[in-house]
Amino acid sequence: MRKTFTTVAACVSCAVCFIAAVRAQAPATTAPAAPSGIVVANPTYVTIPLEIMVSKPAADVWKRIGKYCDIGEWFQIPCMITSGKDGEFGAVRSVANEILVAKTELSYTYTQPVREGRPYNMYHGTLEARPVTATTSKLIYTLMFDNSMLADDGAREKDKAQKTATFTRALQNMKILAEGGTLPPAPPRGAGAGGRGN
C-alpha cells in the first residue's frame, strides 16, 4: 500500500511540474489597454424626453417614418446603412456611425460608438410610435447622454437647448410625413442641425 501511495504521489508531482512548465512557455496574455481619454470620471447623465401627437394609427406612422435610415428624410440629411441591414440589430447608419442596439415592433434604440481620444458620453436615442386610440398615436423621442465634459452649467444648458430644438424640429417633420404632408425646405447647414449628436 505504501508503494502504491508513493507511486501516486510521484505521478501527481510530475503532473504539477508539467503544467508549470507549459505555463512558463506560453506567451503572457494581457487585456488590451482601453483607448486613452475616453473614460469620464464623474458622468452627469441627462435626458431629453420629447413627444408629439399624430393623427394616424401608430402602425401606419411607424411604416412611414420608422425605418432606421428614414432619419435622412425627416432630419433632411444624407443617410445610408454602412454595415448590417436596415432595421436589424447591429445595423450601422452613416449618421454619426450610429448602431441599432434595441428594437420593438414600433420602436428602436441606437447609440454612438466610442471614439479614440474623445470622452465617451454614452449618447443613446430611442424613437417610438405609441398608440393612443385606434386612429391616433404619439411619437416619443428620448435622448440620454453624459454632458459632464462640457465647460460649465451654462454650456450644458446651451447644449441641451440646442438638442431639444433640433429634435423637436425632427419630430415635427415626422408628424408632417406621417400625416401625408410635405416637408418645408431644410434650414441652412449649421442653422438647424446643431447638437444632433456628440
What is the structure's pLDDT at 133? 98
| Torsional sign, CA 115, 79, 75, 137 | negative
C-alpha cell at 23: 505555463
59 — pLDDT class (breaks 50, 70, 90) = very high
Q: What is the pLDDT of residues 143-156, one digit of tens each?
A: 999 999 899 999 99
Is 117 within the bounds of a domain?
Answer: yes
Q: Is 6 left (phi over 0), alpha (psi -120 to 50) or beta?
A: alpha
Evaluate whether residue 27 is within a structural domain: no
Q: Does residue 12 lie within any of the structural domains?
A: no
- In percent, the amount of the chain with pLDDT more than 70 equals 77
Res 42: pLDDT:
85
Query: Do the domain assignments include residue 69?
Result: yes
Better-scored residue on pLDDT, 65 or 5: 65
Can you tell me the mean pLDDT for 91-113? 97
What is d(CA 92, CA 68) in angstroms, rounded to the nearest whole number?
9
Q: What is the number of domains present in the chain?
A: 1
**74 in a structural domain:** yes
CATH number at residue 161: 3.30.530.20
Q: What does pTM read for this prediction?
A: 0.76
Read off the pLDDT band of 70 (50, 70, 90).
very high
| Nearby residues of 79 by Cβ (< 8 Å), 6 or more positions away | 69, 70, 71, 72, 93, 94, 95
- What domain range includes position 105? 45-178
